Amino acid sequence: MPVEFTTSYIADALAVFRQYKKLAEEAMAQATDEQLQVTLDPEMNSIALLVKHMAGNMRSRWTDFLTTDGEKPDRDRDSEFLAPPATRAELLALWDDGWNRVFAAIEPLSDADLGRTVVIRGEAHSVMQAIQRQIAHYAYHCGQIVLLAKHFNASGWRSLSIPRKAL
């Protein structure tokens, strides 16, 4: 979790988002270009598809965050799980664009904004609930990215936290 003591939900949420972003980036850096595209079975997603989905979600949720429904009418969620970006560069461009939207939407907020109402899929959420919902969603998918990258690297994996037998 964040290493800086804070009593600000916004500051803490930003730190948590940055932590998960970094974790997934460090995992992706350990995967080859080919491994980014591998799907372990027909019901799973590749790292590239997870990134595409997260970027689509981020574009939808964080564009005009306070003023429009977080599920934009032009979002085609199902297509996020088809035709992954072909190259690492394309993948990382989607990734960066999504995260830039997250930070651009949250950084101007203050804790006074937490009680404001935003809408996601027609349902009212407080700003705090909407942020928490996305923290949980992105943590889930970042964990999947780490799991896949670790699976591909097996014994060559470089720990992203405290390595085994380190204590």
CA distance 1 to 16: 7
Please check whether residue 9 lies inside any domain of the structure: no
The pLDDT value given to residue 2: 45
* CATH code, domain carrying 95: 1.20.120
- Flag whether pLDDT at 3 surpasses 70: no
The pLDDT value given to residue 1: 47
Please check whether residue 88 lies inside any domain of the structure: yes
Please check whether residue 7 lies inside any domain of the structure: no
Alpha helices in 107-126 (DSSP H): none
How many domains in the chain? 1
Please check whether residue 166 lies inside any domain of the structure: no
Please check whether residue 92 lies inside any domain of the structure: yes
pTM above 0.85, yes or no: yes
The boundaries of the domain holding residue 67 are: 14-116+131-155
**What residue ranges in the chain does DSSP mark as E strands?**
117-120, 123-126
Please check whether residue 3 lies inside any domain of the structure: no
User: By C-alpha distance, which of 14, 22, 59, 58 is closest to 142?
Assistant: 22
Please check whether residue 167 lies inside any domain of the structure: no
The pLDDT value given to residue 28: 98
Tokens, residue 60: 């939808």
Please check whether residue 5 lies inside any domain of the structure: no
